[in-house]
Each structure stands twice: as structure tokens, then as C-alpha cells.
């Protein structure tokens, strides 16, 4: 059907993807050949239009971007006109408008505590169905896109910039940004595990795991104690503490009064009488809520016996795990060996003997080293040549004929120790400690 030489046609609003304050109008082209262009009508009430005479759309164009004010409800119509000024009747009226989004207030929350729900305030002037969006929400929070309600429990501390949006699917998305700050809250700290949890040996790299509910970066201390029991003053133990933020590692001294320290990766070994720690082969690795500490430990045989593995960690807010037993480790005892005598065979009344002894705890762990010249090990010590060297006094001892009293002399002294079977010149005795080696001149009495 045509009126005044022009055809009826359809007018519609089409989706606008660009973030601009425009409403895109589109209509079917008039099939009438003598169309010169189109008039766009817009108003804020039905049937009450103002001709946008300043914008005359040419005949070949069937779209128009109307600059709109968000929150205002508009009524649109379009007509065609010919070269002689004849105008068609207007196409059916359409209604549209750009939604508005109220600026959200800055928000805050605490890790582990559910937030008070935040409602995004959207409004569509033409009553359309709204869809909400929110980019950059703190982890643990979520948005109901149909209602604009944000709920949840934060899991990560930090400062977040949230970009909220609303659209009716046709008009451009309206966006507002606001800040959301999440505080760490009260941390839950766990001394989780030691690996291996059990075993035996003098050397082992232990993998220790600690957790913090607000993130591994919250941990300020991670410690381990190897000892038979956990005590407030762990003297003569193997206690190590790590500062994860700095990489500083410390080992408690024997007295339990001071710490020797170094940094992870250093070519340094921390040591007391019970254990040592090679920093070059150790590491500290935070990941999410977990902290993994690898410690390259070695234990001295003087620390022999069953030891428990106790773990402890503390956070910046003062929360801690307490000392928790996470395993046990057995340090083997020292093994002492009488290695050799040189010469091992021979004859004569006088000879300088070289006697060697070893100790897996180190030669300085040997307190006394013995030599017995006898027909058999089961013979009586009386009327024999039984002697020993004592490291603490640096002296040599020889048993008397009755096997009841020891005669002694400082190593290197001019004294000669003697019984009826043998004599030892103290000045001839030497002792070296890479492997304890004792050299002495012994004379057999005829």
C-alpha cells in the first residue's frame, strides 16, 4: 500500500555494540522509485515528535545513529519524502532508551568472611530486560547476571578494580568502575608434612610443606626441629628456621642461645655438633597457599638415635601452627674400627709401630686408642704389654705387671714407661687425626 506515492515500511532499533550514547535506528527501504530521502522523528512521549530537520537521511541510507541521553525513554517514527516534497505516512512507532547504571560505592571485605551482598543498580527507561556484567571481581565472588547481585566469600587478599556493566541487549553497555579491597583476615596456618616422614641415615634432603589460608606470602617463619622431644630450649639439637620473605636460614647453636645464618643458595654450610645444612643445595618455594622448603641436612654420629621431626610456621598476623610432629628419623651411631698395625708381623726386641684407628664420627671423636701385645686376646692382661693413648690428656698409658695400675706420661715427654714385659719411650709417640694414627717405639724386655 502507498500513500502520496510512497510505501509503508518497518522501523526498528538494532543492537549497538560500541560503547557510545547512541540508539541505532534501522528501517526497510521504501520500494517506491521516486524516494529522495527519509525524515526521522523522535520525541519523549507517544505521537509527540519533533522533526529532526537538521538530519535528513538520503534515500540510499536506511540506518541512523540517534544521540540519546541515558535514562530517557524515546519514541521514534520515520517517513519517506519525494523530490516534490510529498511525504509518506510515518512507519509504526518504536520505543527505546539507553539503560543507566548507578555508580557503585567502593567496597571492602575480608578473606574467609562472606561479604554483605552488593546490588548493582540498573534501570531501563523502556522497561527492557537487563543483563549485568562485572569484570575484575575478587576471587571467591560472583555476579548474578540477571539480578545484578554480587555475593560470595573472598579467597585472596588485595586491591581490585571492578568494572560493572548493564545492557538491555540493544542499547550500548553502560559501565561504572569501583574499587574493592580485600583484607587478609585471620590466617589458618598448618605445618603440613615432612618428606621423607621416616628413615635412617646421616644425610638427607627433607621436603617440608607449610600452608597459609591467606597465601604463602603471609608466612614469616617456617621451622623444623630434629630431636628426641620438643622443648622450649632445644640445646644440643638440630633446629632450623627459615624466613621465606628474605631467604634467610638459621641453625641453632649447641647451647640453644644463638643462631648461625646464611641465605638460600649461598655456598655456605651451617653447622653445629649435631647436624649441618648445605645452603647451596636447599631451596624455598612459595606457590599459592603452600610453602615448600627443601633442606639438605647431614647428621653427626654424636647425634645418634631416634629423632622426631617437628614443624612450625607463623604468619604476619601472629597466627601460627604450633609445633607439630610430622615424622621421625634415626641417626646411626658412630662406627669405630681398629684399622691396622704396621708392621703387622715381624720379630725383634725393639720396633716403632704405626697404629691406625677410624671413627665415622671423625677421628677427634676417638677418646682412647688401645694396643695389646699378647699371645691371644683371651689372655690375662697381667704380665703383658697393654697400652692406650688418651686424646683428652694427650698421654700414653702402660699397665703394670699385676694388671692393676696404669703408669702414664704426656706424649713427647722424656719419660719411659716400663713393666717387666715392655717399655714405651713417650718422646717417640706421635698422633695425627685425619685418621687417628699413633706411632710409638716399643721395646720388648728380654
For residue 13, pLDDT beyond 80: no
In angstroms, the CA 358 to CA 283 distance is: 34
Q: Model-level pTM? A: 0.53
Clarify whether residues 200 and 327 are in a common domain. yes
Clarify whether residues 201 and 326 are in a common domain. yes
Number of H helices, E strands in the chain: 0, 40
Full domain range(s) for residue 73: 2-96
In angstroms, the CA 159 to CA 163 distance is: 13
pLDDT band at 440 (very low <50, low <70, confident <90, very high): low
Clarify whether residues 211 and 312 are in a common domain. yes
For residue 5, pLDDT beyond 90: no
For residue 401, the cross-strand partners are: none
Clarify whether residues 177 and 249 are in a common domain. no
For residue 321, pLDDT beyond 60: yes
Clarify whether residues 193 and 291 are in a common domain. yes
- Computed over its alpha carbons, how large is the radius of gyration of the chain? 46
Strands 416-418 and 422-425: antiparallel
Q: List Cβ neighbours of 142 (8 Å cut-off, separation of 6 or more).
A: 150, 151, 152
Reported as a single tens digit per residue, the pLDDT across 216-270 is 999 999 999 999 999 877 899 999 999 999 999 999 999 999 999 999 999 999 9
* DSSP string covering 137-201: PPTTEEEETTTTEEEE---S-EEEEEEEEEE-SSSPPEEEEEEEEEE--S--EEEEEEESSEEE-
Give me the CATH number covering residue 199: 2.60.40.10
Residue 89: per-residue pLDDT: 86
Residue 323: per-residue pLDDT: 97
Mean pLDDT over residues 390-396, rounded?
A: 94
Q: List Cβ neighbours of 230 (8 Å cut-off, separation of 6 or more).
A: 308, 310, 323, 325
Clarify whether residues 320 and 199 are in a common domain. yes
Q: Which of 39-43, 257-261, 287-291 has the lowest mean pLDDT?
A: 39-43
For residue 396, pLDDT beyond 80: yes
Reported as a single tens digit per residue, the pLDDT across 42-76 is 888 888 877 665 578 898 899 999 988 999 999 99
| Mean pLDDT over the full length of the chain | 89
Instruction: Give the residue with greater pLDDT, 376 vs 253.
Output: 253
Long-range contact set of residues 136-140: C-beta below 8 Å, sequence gap at least 24: 136/160, 136/161, 136/162, 136/163, 137/162, 137/180, 138/109, 138/180, 138/182
Percent of all residues in the chain with a pLDDT value above 70, rounded to a whole number: 91
Clarify whether residues 53 and 175 are in a common domain. no
Residue 160: per-residue pLDDT: 97
Clarify whether residues 117 and 164 are in a common domain. yes
How many domains does one find in the chain? Answer: 4
Mean pLDDT over residues 130-149, rounded?
A: 97
For residue 91, pLDDT beyond 70: yes
Q: Name the domain boundary from 39, 74, 96.
A: 96
Clarify whether residues 349 and 365 are in a common domain. yes
In angstroms, the CA 11 to CA 91 distance is: 6
In angstroms, the CA 75 to CA 45 distance is: 6
Clarify whether residues 346 and 417 are in a common domain. yes
Mean pLDDT over residues 404-430, rounded?
A: 93
For residue 85, pLDDT beyond 70: yes
What is the DSSP code (8-state) at residue 91? P
Residue 425: per-residue pLDDT: 92
In angstroms, the CA 407 to CA 396 distance is: 8
Q: Name the domain boundary from 54, 79, 96.
A: 96
Clarify whether residues 213 and 276 are in a common domain. yes
Q: In terms of Cα–Cα distance, which of 293, 192, 308, 204 is closest to 245?
A: 293
Q: In terms of Cα–Cα distance, which of 406, 401, 446, 410 is closest to 428?
A: 410
Q: Which three cell numbers stand for residue 251?
A: 641453625
Q: Name the domain boundary from 287, 305, 331.
A: 331
Clarify whether residues 327 and 210 are in a common domain. yes
For residue 1, pLDDT beyond 60: no
CB-hemisphere CA count at 13 Å for 332?
12
Amino acid at each position: 500500500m502507498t500513500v502520496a506515492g510512497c510505501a509503508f515500511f518497518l522501523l526498528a532499533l538494532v543492537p549497538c555494540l560500541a560503547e557510545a550514547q547512541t540508539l541505532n535506528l534501522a528501517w526497510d527501504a521504501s520500494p517506491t522509485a521516486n524516494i529522495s530521502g527519509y525524515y526521522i522523528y523522535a520525541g519523549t512521549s507517544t505521537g509527540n515528535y519533533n522533526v529532526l530537520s537538521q538530519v535528513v537521511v538520503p534515500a540510499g541510507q536506511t540506518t541512523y545513529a540517534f544521540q540519546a541521553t541515558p535514562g530517557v525513554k524515546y519514541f521514534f517514527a520515520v517517513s519517506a519524502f519525494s523530490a516534490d516534497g510529498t511525504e509518506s505516512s510515518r512507519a509504526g512507532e518504536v520505543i527505546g532508551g539507553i539503560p543507566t547504571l548507578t555508580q557503585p560505592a567502593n567496597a571492602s571485605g575480608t578473606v574467609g568472611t562472606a561479604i554483605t551482598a552488593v546490588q548493582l543498580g540498573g534501570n531501563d527507561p523502556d522497561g527492557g530486560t537487563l543483563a549485568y556484567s562485572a569484570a575484575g571481581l575478587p576471587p571467591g565472588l560472583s555476579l548474578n547476571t540477571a539480578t545484578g547481585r554480587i555475593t560470595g566469600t573472598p579467597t585472596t587478599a588485595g586491591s581490585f578494580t571492578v568494572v560493572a556493566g548493564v545492557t538491555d541487549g540493544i542499547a550500548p553497555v553502560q559501565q561504572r568502575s569501583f574499587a574493592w579491597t580485600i583484607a587478609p583476615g585471620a590466617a589458618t596456618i598448618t605445618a603440613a608434612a615432612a618428606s621423607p616422614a621416616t628413615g635412617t641415615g646421616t644425610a638427607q634432603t627433607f621436603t617440608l610443606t607449610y600452608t597459609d589460608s591467606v597465601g604463602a606470602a603471609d608466612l614469616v617463619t617456617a621451622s623444623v626441629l630434629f630431636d628426641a622431644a620438643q622443648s622450649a630450649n632445644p640445646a644440643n639439637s638440630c633446629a632450623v628456621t627459615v624466613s621465606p620473605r628474605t631467604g634467610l636460614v638459621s641453625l641453632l647453636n649447641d647451647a640453644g642461645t644463638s643462631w648461625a645464618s646464611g641465605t638460600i643458595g649461598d655456598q655456605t654450610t651451617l653447622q653445629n655438633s649435631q647436624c649441618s645444612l648445605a645452603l647451596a643445595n636447599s631451596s624455598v618455594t612459595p606457590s599459592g597457599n603452600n610453602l615448600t622448603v627443601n633442606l639438605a641436612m647431614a647428621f653427626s654420629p654424636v647425634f645418634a638415635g631416634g629423632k622426631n621431626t617437628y614443624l612450625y610456621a607463623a604468619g604476619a598476623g601472629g597466627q601460627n601452627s604450633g609445633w607439630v610432629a610430622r615424622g621421625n628419623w634415626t641417626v646411626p651411631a658412630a662406627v669405630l674400627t681398629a684399622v691396622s698395625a704396621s708392621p703387622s708381623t715381624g720379630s725383634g726386641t725393639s720396633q716403632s709401630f704405626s697404629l691406625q684407628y677410624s671413627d665415622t664420627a671423625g677421628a677427634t671423636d676417638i677418646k682412647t686408642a688401645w694396643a695389646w701385645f699378647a699371645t691371644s686376646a683371651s689372655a690375662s692382661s697381667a704380665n703383658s704389654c697393654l697400652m692406650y693413648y688418651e686424646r683428652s690428656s694427650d698421654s700414653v698409658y702402660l699397665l703394670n705387671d699385676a694388671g692393676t695400675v696404669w703408669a702414664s706420661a704426656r706424649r713427647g715427654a722424656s719419660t719411659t714407661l716400663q713393666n717387666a714385659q715392655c717399655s714405651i719411650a713417650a718422646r717417640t709417640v706421635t698422633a695425627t687425626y685425619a685418621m687417628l694414627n699413633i706411632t710409638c717405639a716399643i721395646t720388648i724386655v728380654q
